[in-house]
Amino acid sequence: MAWRSSGSTNEELVEKLCLNNMIKSDVVKQAFLKVDRGNYAPSSPYADCPQTLGHGATISAPHMHASAAEHLLPTLQPPAGSGRPSSKARPTRVLDIGSGSGYLTHLLAELLPADAPSDVSVAADGKVPASVVGLEHIEVLRDMGERNMSKTEEGRALLASGRVRFRLGDGRKGWVEPGEEEAGWDVIHVGAAAVKLHDELVQQLRSPGRMFIPVEDEEGVGGQHIWAVDKDAEGNVTKKRLFGVRYVPLTDAPK
C-alpha cells in the first residue's frame, strides 16, 4: 500500500498514510499534521511519490518519510521503563544527512522527546537542549531547506533557537559539529544511498542509538536496501536489512 496514499491536502495525505498503515503511531501522525509538506515539495506536495528538487536531489515519497519516522521513533522517544537515558540527562541529538528539502529535518525536530524543554529557547549556558542537524553538500539545497523551514513561524522559531541547524558538508562518513567533537548522535537518518555502511558513521552513533540508511546492495544489479543499524547501551552493533528502495546516491559535491 506504499504508493496509494496520495491526497489533495496535507490532512488527507496523512489520513491515507495512516489508513495504509505507513503511519502507525499517533505521535508520528501529529508530527506529519504539524509539518505541511506543501512548504517543502516544489510540486504535487500531497502525492505519495518523490518530487525532483533540482541538483540531482529529490524529496522522498511521503510513505518513505513515514517509514523513516516510525523506525526512528523508539530511539527519539524511548518508551518509559526502557532503561534509556532521559533526554533531560542527555539532550537528544539527531543528524539528517542529505537534508534536501528540509522536510524530514523539520519532522524529526517535531519528534524530539516530549520531556525536552518545550519552549524553543537556548538554555542559559548556551547549550541547545535537543537538536537536529540537517546536512547538505550542495549550498543551494542547504539554503533551500532553511528557506522552506522559514515559511512558518514555528519553523523560524526552531531555527532561531538552534534546535534545528542546517550545515554544509559531506556526510558520507558522518558529521561532527565544531565544539561537539565527542557528542555523537542518538539518531542518524541518511536520505541518499551509501555505497557501503562506513564504520566512521556507525562509530558516531551513541550507545544506545539508531541509524536508518539506504545502502547499495553488494552484489547484483544496482539494488538498494534500507538498513537499520542499532547500537545498544553496551555498544554492541546490530545491522538489519529492512526492505528494497530506490534513493539517489550519496556523491561527491559537484565542482
**How is residue 150 annotated by DSSP?**
T
Sign of CA dihedral 86, 78, 207, 246: negative
Report the 10 Å Cβ neighbour count for 181.
8
The smaller minimum CB distance to ligand SAH, of residues 84 and 201, is found at 201
Q: Which of 120, 119, 148, 196 is closest to 41 using CA atoms?
A: 148
Q: Would you call 177 exposed, middle or buried from its count of C-beta atoms within 10 A (0-12, 13-18, 19+)? A: middle
Q: How far is CA 139 from the centre of its chain?
A: 19
**Contacts to ligand SAH by CB under 6 A:** 57-60, 97-101, 103-104, 135-138, 141, 170-172, 191-192, 248, 250-251
Whether residue 72 contacts residue 24, with contact meaning beta carbons closer than 8 Å, is answered with no
Residue 60 annotated in active site: yes
**How is residue 123 annotated by DSSP?**
P
Question: CA-CA distance, 195 to 215, in Å (whole number)?
Answer: 6
| Distances in whole angstroms, Cα of residue 2 to Cα of each of 17, 19, 235 | 8, 11, 34
Question: CA-CA distance, 131 to 111, in Å (whole number)?
Answer: 10
- Annotated catalytic residue within 5, 6, 60, 67: 60
Whether residue 124 contacts residue 36, with contact meaning beta carbons closer than 8 Å, is answered with no
The smaller minimum CB distance to ligand SAH, of residues 120 and 135, is found at 135
> In the complex, what is the shortest distance from the CB of residue 210 to ligand SAH, in angstroms, rounded to a whole number?
17
Q: Is 36 helix (H, G, I), strand (E, B) or coil?
A: coil
> In the complex, what is the shortest distance from the CB of residue 90 to ligand SAH, in angstroms, rounded to a whole number?
26
The smaller minimum CB distance to ligand SAH, of residues 123 and 242, is found at 242
Question: CA-CA distance, 224 to 249, in Å (whole number)?
Answer: 10
Q: Which residues are catalytic?
A: 60
